[in-house]
Amino acid sequence: MSLPRQAAPRDTRWWVIGAMIAVSLLLAILGIRAELDGASFWQALSSPDPHNLREILVRDSMLPRIAMTLLCGGALALAGTLAQQVLRNPLAEPMTLGVFPGAYLALIIADLWGPSWLVAGRPAIALAGGLLAMLAVFALSARQRMAPLAVVLSGMIVNLYCGAISLALSMAHFELLRGLMIWGGGALDQTGWHESRMLGLAVLGCAIVTVLLRRPLGVFDAGDSTVRSLGVGLHRTRVVALLVAVVLTAAVVSTVGVIGFVGLAAPTLARLAGARRLGQRLVWAPLLGAALLWLTDELVRVVSSAELFSAHLLPTGTVTSLIGVPLLLFLLPRLRAQPDLHAAGIAAPAPARLARRLPLALLALVVVLALSFGVTRTVDGWRIGDLEQIRAIMFWRLPHTVAAAAAGVLLAIGGTLIQRITANPMASPDLLGVSSGGMLGLVVALFMGVTPGPGMLFLSCLVGVVVTLAVLMWLGSRVAFAPERLLLIGVAISALLQAVVSAMMSSGDSRVGLLLNFIVGSTYYVQAPIAYAAAVIALLGLVCAPLMSRWIETLGLGAGVAGGLGIPVGRARLLILLLAAVLTAASTLLVGPLSFVGLIAPHIARFSGARRPASQILVAAMIGALLMTFAEWLGRQLVFPEEVASGLVATLIGGPYLIALMLRKTATST
């Protein structure tokens, strides 16, 4: 009896790579033929005519671009394969580990305050930023022993936080950093062969180190205890492999910018095509990554040449992110289950008397309001105004302060509702991607030609929020509504928003400025009617949400228990989610898609003793108003006479709290 054939997986790999290379090569040839005929092409390679711009374009731009594409794709695929192997995590790659945003943030800081460093030290700066970001990820997930979901969740949070800081700096220095922002989207344009040669040397060196590590790396499939029993230096091998991955990533970022999710897609395709052993993946994943990025780049070039993006070349890295986010969502249900986030415990401290702490919160709100109207910064320094000056200032500042306070109330109520109904203490409209979904709806509306009136903007944002909530609930049902997996879905949706924004910025469209104002959450342009309308919606939320408190409390016990107690589970859940959607849409228009207030306010309310839904909603609303009002005042003072958007300030304040919350969770779980 003959043995069954085992060559099918290898045949599959060859077919996949061959098909991508064939299509890419065909598109590249068509692009070159549009510039030169066959005879001129060979002349351009050997001795181009210095007076023939077409020959110079082919030799010094088009061909180096192809080489750069192949090198970047192979490098990122190799980095992803190494990270996935040593962390035993199929979602590990430079983007999900926070290396990309950390390296990019380091380049932005250097460009602003040390531009001379970029002349010769750009790779070192990117490497330092990537290493610091990855160390932050490991610090957040260390006490959970680098569990796959914990590492990826920590990486995506570092990703979002670094992105928020980068966005704040970019808005403060928009004209200075505009070119860097477009380049940072992963633009592969080349003006010669120097960059390709330097990147090629870096990739070659890392490949040699990887070959030397191949045998100890292969043992990682057996688990940490087996690795130690075989005498392999577990931590040393892991550190060296991750260092190689960071070096590869930093080399790519410093050369062409951010190219997301290739390091995730290529190893995944290699496994799906039959590459089971590490040695196979180390060969096939870089080949697939190179072919995938080359194909993507050629398709981007074809689309851009059709002038669908105002004759501006769409950054290839943006397109890879648009492809990678669905892949991340596809892989999520296939991860091994981890301990429940709620059980692992972000437990509140011992119950405190709400009556004792509520006056302190009210006093803090009064102090912040007094700061907002009475204390200001002028060209002559800090100044406390008298009654006449405060009355004059209120005419101008009141709409902005009302808008900020209303946004805080909206986010706090929305966050409380979502945390309660999902039984997930780390859920919030921004972390679950609901706010980002609303912003995506706004982006689609703006670029479809919708007149940017308040009503249409709110409607488009509401549609985006509702669609995102529907997708979130559908995907959540596939992972049994596991809290950490819901969070990963949310941060993936937020990453999708970042990719779409990068694409819009590269278009050169005049609406980009308006879009950025919405994203960063600036209340500077909020007029009185919009501010007071938001306040009315916030008051309606304060009335409606407590009326649902019995539903909210019972649904938190589970659908089975709620149904047994006579709660119409489907209708109750739908109405609560619709209320959360309306509140989130209104807040997103005011302060952007990311502020963490929807996470922080419910937690502080619970720590203050507000355990029942109605009391938690009311206290969280007051705390949300306090936080956003303070963020709005602080944003006016930080870089006077310029103004930092209150949404960004709230993000920068909330980020450390979120990180501390994760560290507290990991501490209580050990």
221 in a structural domain? yes
| Contact yes or no for 667/558 (Cβ under 8 A) | no
pLDDT in tens, 140-180: 877 776 666 677 767 777 877 887 788 778 777 777 776 77
Domain match, 314 and 409 both: no
- The band of 225, judged by pLDDT with boundaries at 50, 70 and 90, is low
The position carrying tokens 């109750």 is 572
Q: CB count, 10 Å around CB of 544?
A: 16
pLDDT in tens, 247-279: 999 899 888 888 877 888 888 878 877 777 888
Average pLDDT, the chain: 76
- Domain residues for the domain of 461 are 400-668
The position carrying tokens 């590492």 is 151
Q: What is the 3-state secondary structure (H, E, C) of 344-404?
A: HCCCCCCCCCHHHHHHHHHHHHHHHHHHHHHEEEECCEEEECCHHHHHHHHHHHHHHHHHH
The rounded distance, in Å, linking the Cα atoms of 628 and 595 is: 9
Q: Which two tokens stand for residue 365?
A: 């709100």
Q: Which two tokens stand for residue 642?
A: 């310029």
Domain match, 294 and 423 both: no
- The band of 666, judged by pLDDT with boundaries at 50, 70 and 90, is low
Read off the pLDDT of each residue in 278-294 and give the average, rounded to a whole number: 89
Q: Is the peptide bond before 641 cis (omega within 30 degrees of 0)?
A: yes
Domain match, 510 and 625 both: yes
CA atoms within 13 A on the CB side of 67: 21
The rounded distance, in Å, linking the Cα atoms of 584 and 407 is: 9
pLDDT exceeds 60 at position 9 = no
Collect all residues with Cβ–Cβ distance below 8 Å to 587 and sequence separation of at least 6.
406, 407, 410, 411, 414, 429, 435, 534, 598
pLDDT at 3: 40
Domain match, 437 and 316 both: no
The rounded distance, in Å, linking the Cα atoms of 513 and 550 is: 44
Q: Quick one: which of 592, 617, 335, 266 has its CA closest to 486?
A: 335
Q: Which two tokens stand for residue 643?
A: 């103004």
Q: Is 444 exposed, middle or buried (0-12, 13-18, 19+ CB in 10 A)?
A: middle
Domain match, 416 and 315 both: no
| Contact yes or no for 254/122 (Cβ under 8 A) | yes
- The band of 634, judged by pLDDT with boundaries at 50, 70 and 90, is confident
> For the chain, what is the domain count?
2
68 in a structural domain? yes
Residue 378, beta-bridge partner list: 381
Among 315, 331, 347, where does a domain finish?
A: 331
Q: Which amino acid is at 666?
A: T
pLDDT at 350: 42
Domain match, 457 and 322 both: no
Taking CA 598 as the corner, what is the angle to CA 429 and CA 482, rounded to the nearest 5 degrees? 55
CATH number of the domain encompassing residue 614 = 1.10.3470.10
Q: Quick one: which of 154, 110, 163 has its CA closest to 135?
A: 154
382 in a structural domain? no
The rounded distance, in Å, linking the Cα atoms of 90 and 160 is: 20
Domain match, 626 and 514 both: yes
pLDDT at 382: 67
Domain match, 449 and 595 both: yes
The helix/strand/coil state of 44 is helix
Among 331, 349, 369, where does a domain finish?
A: 331
391 in a structural domain? no
The position carrying tokens 């050990």 is 670
pLDDT exceeds 60 at position 344 = no
643 in a structural domain? yes
342 in a structural domain? no
Which sign, positive or negative, has the C-alpha torsion 425, 426, 428, 432?
Answer: negative
Task: Provide, for the chain, the percentages of residues in helix, strand and coil under a 3-state DSSP scheme, each rounded to the nearest 5.
Answer: 75, 0, 20
Q: Quick one: which of 531, 537, 527 has its CA closest to 579?
A: 537
- The band of 209, judged by pLDDT with boundaries at 50, 70 and 90, is very high
Q: Which whole-number Å values give the CA distances from 640 to 198, 369, 469, 585, 644, in the listed order?
A: 43, 19, 39, 30, 9
Domain match, 129 and 225 both: yes
| CA 440 from centre of chain | 13
Domain match, 278 and 201 both: yes
596 in a structural domain? yes
- The band of 8, judged by pLDDT with boundaries at 50, 70 and 90, is very low
- The band of 636, judged by pLDDT with boundaries at 50, 70 and 90, is confident
353 in a structural domain? no
Q: Quick one: which of 375, 645, 395, 648 has its CA closest to 524?
A: 645
Q: What is the DSSP string of 599-652?
A: HHHHHHHHHTT--SHHHHHHHHHHHHHHHHHHHHHHHHHTTTTS---HHHHHHH
Q: What is the 3-state secondary structure (H, E, C) of 155-213?
A: HHHHHHHHHHHHHHHHHHCHHHHHHHHHHCCCCCCCCCCHHHHHHHHHHHHHHHHHHHH
pLDDT at 491: 66
Q: Is 393 exposed, middle or buried (0-12, 13-18, 19+ CB in 10 A)?
A: middle
Domain match, 287 and 416 both: no
Check residues 68 and 520 and name the one with the higher pLDDT: 68
- The band of 310, judged by pLDDT with boundaries at 50, 70 and 90, is very low
135-136-138-141 Cα dihedral, nearest 10 degrees? 170
* Number of residues that this document lists for the chain: 670
Q: Quick one: which of 54, 51, 50, 28 has its CA closest to 41?
A: 54
Comparing 92-106, 274-288, 490-504, the range with the smallest average pLDDT is 490-504
Among 272, 306, 331, where does a domain finish?
A: 331
Check residues 623 and 610 and name the one with the higher pLDDT: 623
The rounded distance, in Å, linking the Cα atoms of 404 and 579 is: 20
Given its phi and psi angles, is residue 527 left (phi above 0), alpha (psi -120 to 50 degrees) or beta? Answer: beta
Q: CB count, 10 Å around CB of 398?
A: 15
Domain match, 407 and 534 both: yes
Check residues 136 and 379 and name the one with the higher pLDDT: 136
